[in-house]
Structure 1
Amino acid sequence: MKLTARATLQIQKQHEEVFEAIVNPEHMTQYFISECSGRMETGKDIVWKFPEFNDKYPVTQVNVSSHDSVSFVWDQDTVVRIWLEAQADNSTVVRITEGEKVLNDENLKWTIGNTEGWANFLACLKAYLEYGVQLRTGAFDFMKSNS
């Protein structure tokens, strides 16, 4: 059995606007990450930094397919895939998967944590696009290193 982190949410914005908010670092830094080395484009490797951690995280093997999907690798074992589905009411369903990992206690904990993380990403994306609210601000200050 393989484990996959999954999250899905409908956002009341047009497909192209949601896509741009995912691939453009000027948007991403408003709701998810604190720094980004560049736009997500096929074949380009970038680096993300999260406000609550000191480390920087490589995002490699980026693949962007039109305005319908984005995939990337950020550890050697997993691929993140993001699909955007335009809806008749001009909203967009965003589906995210990350995986796969073999079933064991460590990977089960990883799956739960990353599912929570992607659900948080989607909630922050929705709040930012629909209401201009930055949900992440201060939300993870408790995780910052005291060093």
Structure 2
Amino acid sequence: MSQIEVTADMAPLSELSFSVSGRVSRPPAEVYEAVADPAQLSRYFTTGGAQGRLEPDADVSWDFADFPGRFPVVVIEAKAPERIVIEWAAAPGSNDTGTTRTVFEFAPIDDGARTLVTITESTWRATAGGAKSAFGNCEGWTGMLAALKAWIEHGINLRDGFYK
């Protein structure tokens, strides 16, 4: 039987966060475009369609045919081909800000031939509701990364028929 020792320097968990990463065999500019461009995003991720390019001050909304309901997406930052920061309304009670902030980072690897894509969310409450929202989004973004890779490398839409 093993024991876990709790020491004074182990503060209680006050917030939840996650990062998911994946490597895509395309240059960062191409991968960035596959996320920022609504026509491409609609082909592999937003199954009900995306409207508006991911750039500040754009009128952006996403819809998912498998999880109905178009919702607005606010672009906080877009720095091609390195980073996109977006926000949308959070699930009630899941965090203290009322919004979910998602950061996409596109880092060149293998002399720029491939891209390390990292998606990060944080500030979820360390509660059952916060954990449910954080874990659900972590699952969704992991699926998005797999779908992005399949689409941009092979032209395959992984979401087609996956949820229904």
Query: What does residue 88 of structure 1 align with?
Result: 110
For residues 32-111 of structure 1, the aligned pairs below 5 Å read: 32-33=45-46, 34-75=48-89, 76-89=98-111, 90-111=113-134
5+ long unaligned stretches in structure 1:
142-147
**8 Å contact 1:72–1:80 — kept in the other structure?**
yes
**Identity, % of aligned pairs?**
29
Q: Provide the C-alpha distance between the structure 1 equivalents of 2:110 and 2:29, rounded to a whole number of angstroms.
A: 14
- Partner SS, residue 68 of structure 2: coil
| Structural RMSD (CA) | 1.3
Residues 81 and 96, structure 1, Cα contact 8 Å, conserved in 2: yes
Q: Give the alignment's TM-score, normalised by structure 1.
A: 0.90
Q: Which runs of 5+ in 2 are unaligned?
A: 1-13, 90-97
1:49–1:57 Cα contact (<8 Å) kept: yes
Following TM superposition, the consecutive aligned residue runs of length 4 or more in structure 1 with deviations greater than 3 angstroms are: none
The partner residue of 1:125 within 144, 148, 164 is 148
CA contact (8 A) 2:55 2:75 kept: no
Query: 1: CA distance between counterparts of 2:59 and 2:15?
Result: 27
Matched-pair contact (CA < 8 Å) for 2:18–2:121: yes
What TM-score results when the alignment is normalised by the length of structure 2?
0.81
Distance 1:62 1:51 in 2: 25
What is the aligned length? 141
